[in-house]
């Protein structure tokens, strides 16, 4: 059996790729499947580029196609009985609702969600929260098709203890999208002696706010996986007070490396974090600020968060997640063989 993993264009982002590159390696290591990966040549920025990506995929032959996320519409150009689709979240629909753009909402609803999920042979998502959103947007009948398979914690991440810099700790912020809540975080740490390390593109409005509040900061983007890991190792505290996530991988990554983490008291982040994070109201600047101060000033609390985090990340086993996906591939493949025999 040949399984072909389909990835979005490299110009789109890196979070999905980090997760599924790990899955590709685990499936390759623990199965006899022939494994392939295919990166889309075009950004999904127009109908023309979408059509070109579908044509590109159809030239490649496989027994199972796994669309790893974001470019859901690829399912429309693939055989249903061979297609696995992973939907990470519904943030595209949420944004269009917030911006009150009914035409764009209808376009994404139809071509990114409804039709691809209807057509795919199997559909997965990464959290119970994301499945609930899919049911809310698509209805229970179609939402019932979706199976929850959580992300797994990267098994290559190693616990790397370090002394906490109590005078000027380094706070690490992974991601700069609208949902990452960076503007409130900047306000929350104003006047606190610290350094903010930001990973991701930085627009001028955020730069202005950083300068306005006299925040000492560093900024980087386009980092390799090893460079991101070094950021975790170098920091004292990870900030992930996001207003919207499908899962929240930085929580587990901070847990595994041994850094205290602040995240949002919202689903699915609070469920992913368990006891391994300090939970805050992401819409409250004061709540975020008090969380930072609590971790800075309370050594015993910091140590408890780190200990709980190390236990928490073990709940997300790569072996269990890989087994779930392999079961789906096997079921679809067996069904194909059964249809040939009839």
Q: What is the pTM for the complete model shown?
A: 0.87
- pLDDT, position 341: 53
Identical fold for domains 2-152+317-341 and 170-315, yes or no, is yes
CA quadruple 187, 188, 191, 196: dihedral sign? negative
Burial of 62 (0-12, 13-18, 19+ CB in 10 A): buried
| Residue whose entry in the numeric block shows the structure tokens 């409804």 | 114
- pLDDT, position 14: 61
- pLDDT, position 302: 97
The bridge status of strand 278-280 relative to strand 34-39 is unpaired
DSSP-assigned beta bridge partners for residue 148: 125
The bridge status of strand 216-220 relative to strand 278-280 is unpaired
With b meaning 16 or more CB within 10 Å and e meaning fewer, what string describes 221-230?
Answer: eeeeeeebbe
- pLDDT, position 13: 65
pLDDT digit string (tens) for the chain, length 342 residues: 999 999 999 877 667 787 888 888 889 888 899 999 999 999 998 999 999 999 999 999 999 999 998 899 999 999 999 999 999 999 999 988 888 889 999 999 999 999 999 999 999 999 999 999 999 999 999 999 999 999 999 888 999 999 999 999 999 999 999 999 999 999 999 999 999 999 999 999 999 999 999 999 999 998 888 999 999 999 999 999 999 999 999 999 999 999 999 999 999 999 999 999 999 999 999 999 999 999 999 999 999 999 999 999 999 988 999 999 999 999 999 988 777 655
CATH architecture for segment(s) 2-152+317-341: 3-Layer(aba) Sandwich (3.40)
| Sheet arrangement for strand 278-280 | 216-220, 195-199, 170-174, 237-240, 261-264, 278-280
Q: What tokens appear for 233 in the block? A: 């190792």
- pLDDT, position 69: 87
Q: What tokens appear for 99 in the block? A: 């911006």
Q: What share of the chain is helix, strand, coil (3-state, %, to 5)?
A: 50, 15, 35
Q: Domain coordinates of the chain in residue numbers?
A: 2-152+317-341, 170-315
Query: Could you please report the per-residue DSSP string of 141-205?
Result: HHHTTEEE------TT---------SSSPEEEEE--SGGG-HHHHHHHHTTSS-EEEEES---HH
Say which CATH topology domain 170-315 has. Answer: Rossmann fold (3.40.50)
Q: What is the dihedral of CA 288, 290, 293, 299, to 10 degrees?
A: -110
CB 124 within 8 A of CB 148: yes
- pLDDT, position 245: 94
Q: SS3 for 59? A: coil
Q: What is the dihedral of CA 327, 329, 332, 335, to 10 degrees?
A: -70
Q: Smallest Cα–Cα separation from 216: which of 197, 231, 198, 195? A: 195
Number of H helices, E strands in the chain: 15, 12
């Amino acid at each position: 059996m040949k399984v072909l993993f389909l990835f979005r264009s490299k110009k789109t982002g890196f979070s999905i790729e980090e997760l599924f590159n790990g899955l590709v390696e685990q499936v390759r290591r623990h199965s006899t499947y022939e494994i392939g990966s295919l990166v889309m040549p075009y950004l999904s920025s127009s109908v023309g580029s979408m059509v070109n990506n579908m044509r590109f995929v159809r030239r490649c032959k496989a027994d199972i196609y796994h669309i790893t996320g974001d470019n859901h519409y690829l399912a429309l150009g693939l055989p249903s009985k061979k297609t696995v689709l992973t939907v990470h979240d519904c943030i595209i629909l949420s944004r269009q609702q917030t911006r009150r753009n009914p035409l764009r909402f209808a376009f994404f609803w139809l071509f990114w969600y409804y039709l691809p999920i209807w057509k795919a042979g199997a559909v997965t998502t990464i959290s119970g929260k994301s499945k609930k959103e899919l049911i809310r947007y698509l209805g229970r009948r179609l939402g019932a098709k979706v199976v929850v398979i959580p992300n797994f914690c990267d098994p290559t991440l190693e616990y790397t203890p370090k002394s906490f810099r109590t005078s000027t700790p380094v706070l690490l912020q992974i991601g700069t999208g609208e949902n990452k809540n960076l503007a409130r975080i900047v306000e929350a740490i104003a006047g606190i002696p610290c350094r903010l390390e930001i990973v991701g593109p930085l627009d001028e409005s955020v730069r202005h706010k950083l300068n306005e509040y006299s925040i000492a900061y560093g900024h980087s983007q386009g980092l390799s996986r090893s460079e991101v890991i070094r950021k975790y190792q170098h920091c004292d505290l990870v900030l992930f007070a996001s207003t919207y996530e499908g899962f929240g991988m930085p929580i587990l990554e901070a847990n595994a490396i041994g850094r205290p983490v602040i995240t949002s008291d919202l689903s699915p982040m609070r469920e992913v974090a368990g006891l391994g994070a300090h939970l805050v109201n992401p819409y409250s600047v004061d709540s975020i600020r008090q969380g930072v101060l609590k971790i800075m000033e309370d050594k015993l609390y910091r140590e408890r968060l780190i200990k709980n985090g190390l236990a928490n990340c073990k709940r997300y086993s790569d072996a269990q997640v890989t087994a779930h996906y392999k079961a789906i591939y096997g079921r679809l493949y067996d069904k194909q063989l059964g249809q040939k025999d009839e």
